[in-house]
Amino acid sequence: MRRLLRYTTALSAALALSLLSAGAAVADGSRHQVTNGDSLWSIADLYDVTVDELVKLNGIEYPDLILPGDVIQLPDKAAPPAPAMIEYKVQEGDTLSHIAVRFDVSVQELAAANGITDVQLIIPGRVLKVPAVAAPQEPDGQAVRHPPNDPQIEKMFDELAAAEGLDPGLLKALAWLESGWQQHVVSPAGAVGYMQVTPVTVQWLEQSVFGVPLNEDVSSYDNVKMGARYLRILKDATGDDDKALASYYQGYGTTSSGVMYEETKHYVELVRAVKQRYWSG
């Protein structure tokens, strides 16, 4: 169960299922727009309603699968919360746009929260209020706040999936669930990048499959190339997409022995659901 250690990390980064963000209420107060860090459980707690109420009211088939941009209808009794705020002290060399990217908010939101009229002028040492955030994001990371919409990254996935004879939508969905297409993500087990390939798998692929070292820790292309090849190997070994996904998550040895953990079944369902949502064609 070597990959079960990063189950929560993968889902949190890719689908924003369980970080501690307060989210954002839609203007009329009867709906909640899902933002980075939201889960159905955190939304229910935020508005003092039950998950069951939200599931029934919104016809949600997969309670674990809510994505940034989704709008959740709230029961009449739910009251909108006040926006969450944290404080950030401006450092030498900071710009407002750099801080906005770091915390995954817009420059306009940041300026409005602090009464800033000249976005080009911020002074080191000033303490800024940062709205509705869970944690700072690395500036070079692929944002999870919005649905996948990057033609260059899509092209990379299409190319590498074609090279391995894989369904490009399945590869994209797997990477989106694993990391939210963020190269800087590192799990507690040391899995890195877009495809969250573990160190043991990296070593095996470099030594026994590619025959050369790859830069999977810094290069998104090498990272996806490695993950695509590994998924191809697992598909050849199992003869089935779902079993390949299961092996990617819980390990080939466990899958080949006929064991399929409930967490693994859920993981495969989520990958399929993400593919259906964004790449159904």
Whether 173 and 268 share a structural domain = yes
What pLDDT, in 10s, does the model give residues 140-184?
333 333 467 788 899 999 999 999 999 999 999 999 888 888 888
Q: Domain total for the chain?
A: 3
For 38, 86, 112, the CA distances from 117, given in Å and listed in that order, are 31, 20, 8
Whether 190 and 122 share a structural domain = no
> Residue 114 is part of which domain span?
85-131
Residue 166 lies in a domain: yes
Contacts of 16 (CB under 8 A, 6+ apart): 34, 35, 36, 37, 38, 39, 66, 67, 68, 144, 145, 180
What pLDDT, in 10s, does the model give residues 178-208?
888 888 888 777 889 999 998 889 999 999 9
pLDDT at 246: 94
For residue 14, pLDDT over 90 is answered with: no
Residue 7 lies in a domain: no
Residue 80 lies in a domain: no
Whether 116 and 212 share a structural domain = no
Query: 3-state DSSP: the chain helix, strand, coil percent, rounded to 5?
Result: 45, 5, 45
Whether 173 and 266 share a structural domain = yes
pTM given for the model = 0.55
Q: The CATH number of the domain where 157 resides is what?
A: 1.10.530.10
